[in-house]
Amino acid sequence: MFQLDKVQKIDIQELLQVTEEAKSQGKRFVTINCVDLGEELDLLYHFDKDLVVNSYRLTVSKGVEVPSISNIYISGLLIENELQDMYGLKFEGLVLDYHQKLLTVEEISQPLTVSNLGVQYVTKSSKKEVVTVGS
Amino acid sequence: MARKIQMPFGPQHPVLPEPIQLKLVLEDEKVVEAIPNLGYVHRGLEGLVTKKDYNQMIYVAERICGICSFQHALVLSMAVESIWKVEVPERANYLRVFWAELHRLHSHLLWLGLAVEAFGFESLFMQSWKIREKVLDVFEATAGARVIISTCTYGGVKRDVSPELAKWSLEKIAEVEQELKAIEKVFVNDYTVKRRTVGIGVLDKQTAEQFAVVGPMMRASGIKQDTRELGFAAYGDLDWEPVVEQTGDCYARILVRLKESFQAIDLVRQALDKMPQGEIITKLKGNPPAGEAFARVEQPRGELTYYVKTNGTANLERMHVRTPTFANVPSLLAMLPGSELADVPVIILTIDPCISCAER
């Protein structure tokens, strides 16, 4: 019910087309999730119709500008601005661009990137066993 | 031709319990443009996944919002349980509905009070909050805390409700229902309430779809959708229908939340009545396996989504929260232009903004 086994992978050229199709089918935009994979960012777009969610996975290299869907779904503007703040991602054509200052300030830049989190995973069984991702 | 001025509304404003700013462009007293501004209290709680293990993250999730803390714990539990492929005991599912609906009830009572206080109806505000205290009494008796109750966890719930406690809770809820019925007609029929809300801040069905609003905002605009229809916890076994209104104005949002308050009382009764005997938790050992899940529940303010990615360690790799306020704030871009400045506080409050949710 909740697992994301059937996410459709798309590339950056397909994003706006997929979004337009979702809109024309009367789907509601839900949100975008983002995970920092190190060299790349994993973006998950979710659309809902009658409580069925369709999800699309877009993996982009860091530094690549992603087309904004806010021209199609205006409700996408806040999450796209949030992702700009948190990951330094740049959305091209945002209808309202807060220029990475929606939620954060200049002193706190891209706080959810792996390099800034300095990820340390401590397993429960052994507090000494530490898996470090990023710096 | 009227002179245009730009005016900041907030972040500190008498009607706003939490900070949000709107840059309003006015022509005389009429709003022509509104740009929302967030970021005053952002806490970076999602970043704590690297510092807190998955058990501790339940407590972090609950602290995203003090009003709907149970739903935050519930949806995080559901996401991790789906990765872990855990079956939650039936009794726990009914107890989850019991506490979730009590949270909806106290949240709506809190909001109903705040909404009428925005136009100076102090006595109705105090009555609403007085009734709400009884719901918090039920939390205290059943969970040991009045606000953040920490009863939901991975695999079920941490506390059971004995038959004596269930009986006492139902008596308290009956008092809440009786007292709410006494003030219901004021919310529905009072001249002041209607004068300040009917035809104000209208969001028609088409615009509501365009702005992808959720929860009571969506249902007040004629869209019949409620995440509880997915049937999670025990909702699929209970008898209920989403509350829908058609006019899309501030008055319709009051009616939806008022009717949902009575519906929450009914669902609490149904949950306690139909609750089977049995275990309340499936004990889990070790760490959740690697995987990812996207879960959602109906929080009092609307659809709440959690994306969770695990990697087999004690820490979640990523937890992303999309709260209903985050989904509903953009609709202010549609509702505020054309409204009178005096109506701005009422319109903002009718989205039931929870800034601590939005700025988790």
To the nearest whole angstrom, how far is the Cα of A16 from the nearest Cα of chain B? 16
pLDDT, tens digit (0-9, with 9 covering 90-100), for B249-288: 999 999 999 999 999 999 999 999 999 999 999 999 889 9
The Cα-based distances of B139 to B18, B103, B131, B145 in angstroms read: 24, 9, 14, 6
Q: Is A105–B314 a contact, with Cβ atoms under 8 angstroms apart?
A: no
The answer, for A26 touching chain B at a CB cutoff of 8 Å, is: yes
Q: Is the confidence at residue A133, as pLDDT, over 70? A: no
Token pair, residue A69, equals 């869907």
Distance CA B219, CA B243 (A): 7
Distance CA B47, CA B50 (A): 7
Distance CA B358, CA A37 (A): 25
Identify each DSSP E strand in chain B by its residue range. Answer: 4-9, 21-27, 30-37, 152-153, 156-157, 291-299, 302-310, 316-322
Q: Hey, how many other C-beta atoms are within 10 angstroms of the C-beta on A9?
A: 9
Kindly tell me the burial class for residue B146, based on how many C-beta atoms sit within 10 Å of its own C-beta (0-12, 13-18, 19 or more): middle
User: Could you tell me the maximum CA-CA distance found in chain A, to the nearest angstrom?
Assistant: 53
pLDDT band at B16 (very low <50, low <70, confident <90, very high): confident
Q: Hey, how many other C-beta atoms are within 10 angstroms of the C-beta on A124?
A: 15
Considering only the beta carbons, identify the residue of A31, A101, A103 that sits closest to B305. Answer: A31
Q: Hey, how many other C-beta atoms are within 10 angstroms of the C-beta on B181?
A: 10
Name which of A2, A74, A116 to mutate to probe chain B: the one with the most chain B Cβ atoms within 10 A of its Cβ.
A2
Name which of B74, B294, B317, B328 to mutate to probe chain A: the one with the most chain A Cβ atoms within 10 A of its Cβ.
B294
Q: Is B82–A26 a contact, with Cβ atoms under 8 angstroms apart?
A: no
Q: What is the mean pLDDT of residues A29-42?
A: 91
Q: According to the per-residue pLDDT averaged within each range, which of B38-47, B153-162, B349-358 is highest?
A: B153-162
Distance CA A59, CA A78 (A): 20
The Cα-based distances of A50 to A5, A27, A53, A69, B306 in angstroms read: 20, 8, 8, 21, 19
Q: Is the confidence at residue A75, as pLDDT, over 70? A: yes
Question: Interior CA angle at B217 toward B212 and B175, to 5°?
Answer: 150
Query: Quick check: B207 and B244 in contact, CB under 8 A?
Result: no
The answer, for A114 touching chain B at a CB cutoff of 8 Å, is: no
The pTM of the full predicted model, rounded to 2 decimals, is 0.91
Q: Is B305–A75 a contact, with Cβ atoms under 8 angstroms apart?
A: no
Percent of chain A whose pLDDT exceeds 70? 81
